[in-house]
Amino acid sequence: MGLFLIIALLIIVSAFYSYINARFIKLPGTIGIITIAIIVSVITIVIDKLDPSVARYLTLLAKNINFSGTVLNIMLGFLLFAGSFNSNTKRLKRELRPVFVLSTLSVILSTAAFGVLFYYGTMLFNIHMSFVYCLLFGALISPTDPVAVGAIIKNSKLPSNIATIISGESLFNDGVGLVLFITILEAINSGVDNVSFTQTALLFLREVLGGVVLGVILGFIAFRLMKSINDFQTIVLVSLSVVMSASVIASYLNLSIPLSVVSAGLFMGNRTINSDEKERSHEALEKFWQLIDEMLNTILFVMIGLQMVNLPYITNYWLTGGIAIVLILIARWLSIILPLTFLRRSLDVNYKSINILTWAGVRGGISIALALSLPFSPYRHVILCGSYFIVIFSIVVQGLTLNKLIDSSLKEKGTN
């Protein structure tokens, strides 16, 4: 299947799903689209077994998409830049401490907690996995997804401070999660005994700090260039070039691409390029990136649903997925309550807020992309299966019930 046909079919399917949801189902955009995509994929699998010719195009489309490469190498940078460029940086500065804690320390704690829980939890059901692979699973599934989180909280009743913390966390923790994932994967490939803690810490700092510095430098250069011209088309091209430059340079220097893109987006979004000659340019640029964000969101969640056609069958399919869902929620809760307990006096975060933060920790396409990028091993299918279950549960179930949890928390707070 040629590249143009793949893109054409993907856009046609995305438009169709989006229309069906907007016209008939009327669920929140992300939830509705991924629900339709999952249902269609399940039907496709059944039809494919009965008569492969009927479901040929959807099956071919799913099998011809390099989901991992498309998400991590192409879509991720644009999605992260769009989210950070349109972020409310004033609110983000006010909630900087909890955002920093949740996007760094909490990711590490969640990775460790999930790894330990999954190792012993699956052992109880005679599903045996290497401990280091359980940690690898924890690293790819612990970061919340900025795309899914942004789409969910847009339609939620979250208090502004909690919404800022959740969205800010999701922008930065992908970079930390990716560095953890790469570090653990390298340890597996080279042998755990050959891993140096000092070298690992230096690698972590280089990728994280280097990515942030690169993003700020590119953001500053792009801002000065856009400020000096009036042509809006050129301004848009400069903003697009920032995403691509950050991705290429960070990849070449082995720095964190997500953190470099987010840093550039925050720097540029926080500084207006408006002037007397172009008084609405910055607002128009925000709308441009908001449109890019929403379109890529739709395509991404259609791709997640389509990839179910390629999901391998394993013996303990539902059991593995169910265990993974329960354990990631426990790990998420522990990774929030432990560090934030020490910050409660200086932050407007109580234990009810911690429950909301736990339930609003939505996973998405990045986790699935990382799972699909894993090299072949006896545990790859278990990790991939668990990732799908967690992502679908978090987007559909957690997304649909988040407002109910918020309402109940607010009622309890009111009665107290």
Write out pLDDT tens, residues 307-339. 887 776 656 778 899 999 999 999 999 999 988
What's the rounded mean pLDDT across residues 55-80? 85
Quote the tokens at residue 343. Answer: 């910050």
State the sign of the Cα–Cα–Cα–Cα dihedral 231, 234, 239, 245.
negative
What are the two backbone dihedrals, phi and then psi, of residue 375, each rounded to the nearest 5 degrees?
-70, 160
Lowest mean pLDDT of 24-38, 79-93, 137-151, 269-283, name the range: 269-283
Residue 39's CB: how many other CB atoms inside 10 A? 13
> Please, are residues 145 and 363 in contact by the beta-carbon 8 Å criterion?
yes
Q: Greater confidence, 140 or 203?
A: 140
Q: What is the mean pLDDT of the chain?
A: 87
* CB contact burial 235-256 (16+ within 10 A = b; e otherwise): bbebbbebbebbbebbeeeebb
In angstroms, the CA 393 to CA 416 distance is 32
In angstroms, the CA 235 to CA 359 distance is 39
Q: Residue 225 — very low, low, confident or very high, per pLDDT cuts 50/70/90?
A: very high
Of 386, 373, 325, 411, nearest to 70 by C-alpha is 373
pLDDT at 409: 75
pLDDT at 50: 77
Q: Which domains does the chain have, with CATH numbers?
A: 3-412 (1.20.1530.20)
In angstroms, the CA 65 to CA 39 distance is 19
Q: Residue 80 — very low, low, confident or very high, per pLDDT cuts 50/70/90?
A: very high
Lowest mean pLDDT of 5-19, 164-178, 283-297, 341-355, name the range: 341-355
Amino acid, res. 6: I
pLDDT > 90 fraction of the chain, expressed in percent and rounded: 48
Neighbour-count burial of 163, counting CB atoms closer than 10 A to its CB (0-12 exposed, 13-18 middle, 19+ buried): buried
pLDDT at 245: 96
Q: 342-392 pLDDT, tens per residue? A: 766 545 556 668 889 999 999 988 999 999 999 888 899 899 989 999 999
Q: 183-219 pLDDT, tens per residue? A: 899 888 877 666 677 777 787 788 889 999 999 999 9
pLDDT at 152: 82
pLDDT at 348: 54
Q: Residue 415 — very low, low, confident or very high, per pLDDT cuts 50/70/90?
A: low
pLDDT at 169: 92
Q: Is the pLDDT of residue 414 over 60?
A: no
Neighbour-count burial of 11, counting CB atoms closer than 10 A to its CB (0-12 exposed, 13-18 middle, 19+ buried): middle
Q: Greater confidence, 253 or 280?
A: 253
Q: Residue 62 — very low, low, confident or very high, per pLDDT cuts 50/70/90?
A: confident
What's the rounded mean pLDDT across residues 103-108? 92
What's the rounded mean pLDDT across residues 132-141? 96
pLDDT at 411: 67
Q: Is the pLDDT of residue 416 over 60?
A: no
In angstroms, the CA 336 to CA 332 distance is 6
Q: Is the pLDDT of residue 226 over 90?
A: yes
Neighbour-count burial of 46, counting CB atoms closer than 10 A to its CB (0-12 exposed, 13-18 middle, 19+ buried): exposed
> Please, are residues 379 and 354 in contact by the beta-carbon 8 Å criterion?
no
